[in-house]
Amino acid sequence: MAEAALAPSQPRQRGRPFQPGQSGNPAGRRPRGSDPAGDVTRIMAHGAAQVARKMVAQALAGDVNAARLVLEQGLMPGPSATPAAAAAP
């Protein structure tokens, strides 16, 4: 008797359960929300040059932590950016 209660009344549908052009979610996919990591990346990219200049200025003024960050991150301008390198033959 327990077997009769567990037996399905209709065979299980296999394959594609929806008609072509129809889906189980007629409203469609929800729009993506804001991406906090992407927002921070865009903000940092916009002000990255200003931050780098400020860190280099602080390092040149004697701030040891700023100098460490500048050296670790490679924020110092290259040799072509210095006037002495441009004047050398």
Instruction: Please write the tens of the pLDDT for every residue from 19-78.
Output: 777 767 777 777 777 777 777 788 777 788 888 888 889 999 999 998 898 888 876 655
Structural domain span for residue 45: 38-77
CA distances for 66 relative to 4, 22, 43, 45, 82, angstroms: 77, 60, 21, 19, 20
Q: State residue 27's pLDDT score.
A: 76
Say if 82 falls within a structural domain: no
Q: State residue 2's pLDDT score.
A: 54
Say if 68 falls within a structural domain: yes
Say if 11 falls within a structural domain: no
**pTM of the complete model:** 0.38
The domain total for the chain is 1
Say if 66 falls within a structural domain: yes
Cβ–Cβ under 8 Å, residues 9 and 15:
no
Say if 50 falls within a structural domain: yes
Torsion region of 25: left, alpha or beta (phi above 0 gives left; psi -120 to 50 gives alpha)? beta
